[in-house]
Structure 1
């Protein structure tokens, strides 16, 4: 039983490590989605704030109408008292009292709504400012990630470039060596031809003054002397 518990613990540990690896690999994407979720929550809070504000305005409007009705009833009560109509005056006074109670309840509700409105508005402003800060941090994080990615690629690219340049240098040296060898071979063949070929013998005859051209020149000189 102890062995099974350890295996289960190891599996849970492995799952946690895998989950953390996934989170680390997608940290920026997760961060961006969390910002979007926060912005959506702020939008919903704004809708709630608008509803609270609308309710407050309606209550204030109703309270104003009650104030006008109370004034009207007070005027009517005063007139009823002048004509000594006590029952009507009492009935009007009771209606005034009910309207004042209703107005008092409305103002209590207005006060509560105003308090909630102010607290929610302040919370929205603070949250919006924080999300804006997170948005800026997201931009910086993306820029850093891009720079780090580009920087990590510089090493392999530089190494590949150096390898290419080295290969080019070796290839050029092989070409130059081959061309030089060909030139050396050609020069050697020319030297051999001059040393042992027929043209070499003719050249030696000419150098010794025994060539046909030299004999003709000698013949001309002897004729001239006679």
Structure 2
């Protein structure tokens, strides 16, 4: 196949797929329209059947009347023969002949109408059954379509919620990491400042009981009883000089 032939086949296939997709999309609407068309055809068939049945009934009554008339003329002809009136009997015979010819045509037409009536009645009944079956199938398809759409909407909503939750959790993790990083920088800055000022070393000495100017009330009272000079409050080392001694 040439390149142009393949291209034409591809285009034709795409057109067919688009047409089938459009038909599938409108499938329920098409089915509803087909059921309406079938209902209209069924109503027309019923009307035609009613007309055939009315004609058959009228023709049947005419045949019954012709049979009754033929039987009456037959009895009258026999009575005329018994009375010696052959002329009347022959006249009755002529009328019976015409009547029987008409009756034969009517009976043939009645049989034809009755056959057509039976066929139309079966067709109407079959059509009614098919329409009812199609209507039930369409209702089932509609219910299933609604269910599938609901499930699809729920699935899409669930997927959207999961996506949003995933994004929110990622944002939360980023916030936590940013907070941890900020807390770490603040702690590192505090430690660096403590090292620069020496406060950390002083704090460690105080906790070890070394240095400092803290004195208990007992230490101060002992100094008073011994007559010693009060200790300097300053944290600096005491200078070397003259020691004050109280007079005896």
Normalising by structure 1, report the TM-score: 0.68
The answer to whether the Cα contact below 8 Å between 1:77 and 1:92 also exists between their aligned partners in 2 is yes
Residue aligning to 1:41: 41
**TM-aligned CA deviation for residue 80 of structure 1:** 2.8
CA deviation string 1:22-74 (max 9, x = no partner) = 45412413344334323322332222122111211111112112222223323
Q: Is the alpha carbon distance of 1:153 and 1:57 closer, same or farther for their aligned partners in structure 2, counting shifts above 3 Å?
A: same
1:1-226 map, 5 Å: 18=15, 21-22=18-19, 24-27=21-24, 28=27, 29-135=29-135, 138=138, 160-161=160-161, 163-192=163-192, 194-196=194-196, 203=203, 207-211=209-213, 213-214=214-215, 216-223=217-224
Change (3 A) 1:23 1:54: farther
Measured against aligned partners, the alpha-carbon deviations of 1:52-104 in whole angstroms (never above 9, x if no partner) come to: 11211111112112222223323333333333333333222222222222221
How far the C-alpha of 1:176 sits from its partner, in A, is: 0.4
Q: Distance in 1 between matches of 2:185 and 2:169?
A: 24
Distance 1:205 1:161 in 2: 58
Alpha-carbon contact 1:193-1:200 (below 8 Å) kept: no
Displacement of 1:196 after TM fit?
5.0
TM-score (norm 2): 0.64
| Deviation at residue 219 of structure 1 after TM alignment | 0.9
In the aligned structure 1, how far is the partner of 2:163 from the partner of 2:225? 78
Instruction: Give the structure with higher Rg (CA).
Output: 2
SS of match in other structure, 1:214 = coil
Contact 1:46 1:124 in 2 (8 A): yes
Q: Which runs of 5+ in 1 are unaligned?
A: 1-9
Q: Which runs of 5+ in 2 are unaligned?
A: 1-7, 228-248
CA distance in structure 1 between the partners assigned to 2:195 and 2:14 by the alignment: 85
1:56–1:114: 8 Å Cα contact kept in structure 2? yes
What is the RMSD of the two structures over their aligned residues, measured on CA atoms?
4.1
Task: Give CA deviations for 1:95-146 in whole Å, capped at 9, x if unaligned.
Answer: 2222222221111111101111122223333444444454455456656766
| CA 148–205 in structure 1, closer or farther in 2 if over 3 Å, else same | closer
Query: Is the 8 Å Cα contact of residues 42 and 124 (structure 1) preserved in structure 2?
Result: yes
